[in-house]
Structure 1
Amino acid sequence: MTETDVSLGVTDRSLRAVVAVVEAGSFTGAALTLGIGQSAVSHAVARLEQALGVALFIRKRDGVEPTTVGAALAARAAPALRELAAAVAAAAQPLGGGAVTISVSTSLAAHWLTPRLPEFKQAHPDVELRVLTTDTDTGVGRDGADLWIPLGPVDDPALDSVPFCAERLIPVAAPKLAAAIDIADPAALLDSPLLHLEERYVPRFDWPRWFRHHGVAVDGDVPGDRSNDYSLVLHAALAGAGVALGWEHIVRELLGQGRLVAVGPVVETGIHFPLLSRHGRPLSPAAETLRTWILANAPG
């Protein structure tokens, strides 16, 4: 087999497929990492094996295992691919500018990210920011974004995770309604109009759990108005329609402005919201700039 014959099967795509399969331990996991179909991964690996004339993986019923040659190839190719990607990104965006996409919830975008954008743009005018809003985590890692702040912990080996902030909840209401509430007695909130978030995808800390946490017995559903959009829940609270459970990192600005008032103690759930990026893929300079800025300004 000539050098030309081999080179025809050795492509950036095929090498990335081999590295991803070795790291994930399966073609399915590699497909998730690369964001392509499993058949595309299989074809890329098979084409490379054909070009090299050697098996790179042992196919098993419960997954795949790299051969000695496959493991050695992946070990040498992985850092080379990372360096190549970093070099291309740096050449395309030498000053840290360019475009970056982040996926966050609607309420986080409206009440945490957007109010801070002028500061970010002043410091980084060359970065073009694209914000995707979603109230499910089904697209995390698969929606074309560079960074994600999901609704809760995400256990996915294809993603790198760093803490964004702890989950802390506090009952909040508009000042006029808050003035009529005995904030020293958690049970008193049962006599107030309550606003509920109906979460269909991720179990969230809700009013029944909040009352039980404070030793207040509740039977069945807690009465109140409901919405599946947390931004609407907050707008209703701002309008004086009821008391909402506020995620502290989202309502902090509203509390500081006096538009909402705390009417009960803070509950720390022990859960942390992460900031996610793709594992094994260097961030573009623009994405790295945004990631660094978010962590520097994170609620903690």
Structure 2
Amino acid sequence: MTSLDASAAALLEALQALPGTPVEAGTPEEAQAAHAARAEFLSGPGEPVETVVDGQIDEVLVRVYRPVDAAPAGIVYAHGGGWVTGTLDTYDTVCRALANRSGVTVVSVGYTLAPEAQHPVAAGQVMKVVQASMTEGNPIALCGDSAGAHLVTLVASVAGTAGIPISGLGLIYPVVSPKLDTPSWETLGSGYGLTRESMRWYWEQYLNPEPRTALPADLLELDLSKLPPTQVLTAGFDPLRDEGLALADAIEKAGVPVERVSFDGQMHGFARSMAQIPEALDAIDGVAKFLRTKLAGA
């Protein structure tokens, strides 16, 4: 049986020793502050890229990363953080690495966080950025991790139904369903960073108690047949593992090509932890290669 990667185990021990309370015991503001305070420790300073520019697209904050000799294509990235805590700053290192390894411009979306904005507001903001990015006529791919992977899946489904061409979709340990009822939630729902209680709290912040949308929050209820070729990355010690695998199966059943990637010894959030976990860059390398290939039309 695969064991937890040594660097992941060391990081988990270090995080558990930090002062603070579980996210579900505090406020969104407290969770945001704790997330920001740990960003440099987890991710490090980030790689240099040719240009990094902050701006807005249709009043949505974005940060645009252009690598040296960028190909005429782009990746729209939605960050994780349970829809509540992630920011352009805390995912800066990920986007720098993704831009350098894909060789294309990466547009990171600073969507409005929950509970200020609830489903499907953030997905709508990502869609605005995608539509604006299409105006230059270059191919576009989507990528996201965790809650961000949830958002880009929603957007890719809507875009596909509307006939908006998306070249590829990269999903890094995606949040899929609010049910939290898979076997991996039973076996890994505590002790590995992300817990069942914290994930339930994130969903409570994100979901509008009086939804006014026909767009389902459970990705398994979407029309997945309109998705572009997709890579789904899962981690062996992530409580989200089985719902990610179920999503990959459902996408394949809908007739869409799926590439499955598993980091069996890793836990949730490892791909952002580049300063602590060597395999983090392997994960970014893999999704960058996949999306670069799809953007090139292969």
TM-score normalised to structure 1 length: 0.24
Which of the pair is proportionally richer in strand?
1
Highest CA radius of gyration, 1 or 2? 1
Using the size of structure 2 for normalisation, the TM-score is 0.24
